[in-house]
């Protein structure tokens, strides 16, 4: 499967160390701007290559200076003319698109991709502007899936940003569908009070009709939320106007109990574009900081009370479908 390895903007003039699926990896760009990923170890004395330096030809180890290209081949051993035939490290297949860097993990080492990574065209859509960030979580990746598939928690966790009335969130009309490896959750809240993030970014008249549409895939989630002035048009119209927030959420496991959470938020301001974008991004970051505290505390509590039963309620349907998909894929 393709997993997100980095946001494009993360690869600058230094190598980037990141453990993905229990595999230490170093990511870097060559002089032509091409992104590469190698196993994060020198084949000489195992120093992490991420501790090295970038040069025009590739990545040089910070211990004895062996130089590697993006395919993992050693190009130079300082002090000797011959490069040993076995002087190489494992490369990984990357695909950079839409300002995202995807990495392929096959069922066997060295396997080639049998599909393309997902596209995310809102990063280049002229109607939207966006930014994003990456968080490291001391929690398993599926707890973040659970959180993103159940937006009823907004009324309790995010009162200062995208929350709103808790009762409205808990009683929202909700439709859930699972087909193949995809789960769709749609929630609608007519005639509701716009939350702080919405009023800071858009000139609503008063009450709004609000939507939350979530698409889950094993490698990422897409969450389209927003609002229109109440009774101004159909809240289910795919071409509806109003205020939009399109979130991309890519959760890549680091270990069994830790993960990397990559997110971007795209929004559609019509005036004062840069300032509105900045407000939305800052509010989104504040929101995700709140989620991180909750999810890491949840994981810590679950470890302490391991084995204690947990109940399900009506808002858990989408998350339970997603867990069944992950379980099926792991068993296969």
Provide the percentage of residues in the chain whose pLDDT is more than 90. Answer: 83
Chain segment 170-179, per-residue pLDDT in tens: 667 889 999 9
* Residue 306 burial class via C-beta count within 10 angstroms: exposed 0-12, middle 13-18, buried 19 and up: exposed
Q: What is the spatial distance between Cα 252 and Cα 5, in angstroms, rounded to a whole number?
A: 8
Chain segment 44-81, per-residue pLDDT in tens: 999 999 999 999 999 999 999 999 999 999 999 999 99
- Domains of the chain listed by start with CATH number: 2-104 (2.102.10.10), 121-331 (3.90.380.10)
Does 5 score more than 70 pLDDT? yes
Instruction: Residue 213: count other Cβ atoms within 10 Å of its Cβ.
Output: 18
Q: Read off the pLDDT of each residue in 227-237 and give the average, rounded to a whole number.
A: 95
Chain segment 85-136, per-residue pLDDT in tens: 999 999 999 999 999 999 999 888 778 899 999 999 999 999 999 999 999 9
Rounded alpha-carbon distances, angstroms, from residue 214 to 2, 27, 163, 187, 247: 20, 30, 16, 9, 9
Nearest to residue 10, comparing CAs of 40, 37, 49? 37
Does 276 or 170 have the greater pLDDT score?
Answer: 276
CB 143 within 8 A of CB 295: yes
Residue 169 confidence (pLDDT): 62
Does 201 or 46 have the greater pLDDT score?
Answer: 46
Q: What is the mean pLDDT of the chain?
A: 93
Confidence class for position 152, pLDDT limits 50, 70, 90:
confident
CB 293 within 8 A of CB 185: no
Residue 153 confidence (pLDDT): 76
Residue 231 confidence (pLDDT): 95
Nearest to residue 75, comparing CAs of 51, 58, 53, 92? 58
Does 199 score more than 90 pLDDT? no
Instruction: Specify the range with the lowest mean pLDDT, choosing from 132-136, 160-164, 324-328.
Output: 160-164
Q: What is the spatial distance between Cα 83 and Cα 302, in angstroms, rounded to a whole number?
A: 51
Q: Read off the pLDDT of each residue in 297-321 and give the average, rounded to a whole number.
A: 94
Confidence class for position 264, pLDDT limits 50, 70, 90:
very high
Its pTM stands at 0.93
């Amino acid at each position: 499967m393709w997993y997100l390895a980095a946001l494009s903007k993360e690869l600058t003039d230094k190598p980037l160390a990141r453990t993905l699926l229990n595999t230490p990896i170093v990511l870097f760009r060559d002089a032509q701007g091409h992104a590469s990923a190698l196993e994060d170890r020198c084949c000489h004395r195992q120093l992490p290559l991420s501790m090295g330096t970038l040069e025009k030809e590739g990545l040089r180890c910070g211990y004895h200076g062996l130089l590697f290209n993006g395919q993992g081949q050693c190009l130079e051993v300082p002090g000797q003319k011959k490069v040993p035939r076995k002087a190489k490290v494992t490369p990984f297949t990357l695909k950079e698109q839409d300002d995202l860097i995807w990495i392929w993990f096959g069922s066997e080492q060295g396997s080639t991709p049998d599909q393309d990574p997902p596209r995310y065209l809102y990063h280049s859509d002229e109607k939207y502007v966006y930014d994003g960030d990456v968080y490291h979580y001391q929690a398993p990746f599926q707890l973040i899936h659970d959180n993103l598939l159940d937006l009823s928690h907004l009324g309790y966790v995010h009162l200062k940003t995208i929350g709103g009335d808790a009762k409205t969130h808990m009683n929202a009309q909700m439709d859930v569908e699972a087909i193949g490896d995809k789960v769709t959750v749609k929630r609608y809240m007519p005639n509701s009070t716009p939350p702080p993030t919405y009023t800071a970014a858009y000139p609503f008249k008063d009450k709004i009709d609000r939507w939350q549409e979530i698409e889950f895939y094993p490698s990422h989630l897409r969450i389209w939320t927003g609002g229109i002035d109440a009774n101004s048009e159909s809240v289910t119209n795919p071409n509806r106007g109003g205020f939009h927030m399109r979130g991309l959420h890519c959760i890549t496991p680091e270990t069994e109990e830790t993960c990397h959470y990559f997110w971007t938020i795209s929004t559609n301001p019509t005036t004062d574009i840069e300032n509105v974008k900045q407000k939305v991004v800052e509010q989104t970051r504040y929101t995700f900081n709140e989620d991180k505290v909750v999810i890491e505390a949840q994981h810590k509590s679950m470890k302490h009370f391991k084995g204690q039963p947990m109940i399900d309620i009506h808002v858990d349907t989408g998350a339970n479908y997603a867990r069944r998909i992950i379980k099926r894929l792991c068993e296969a």
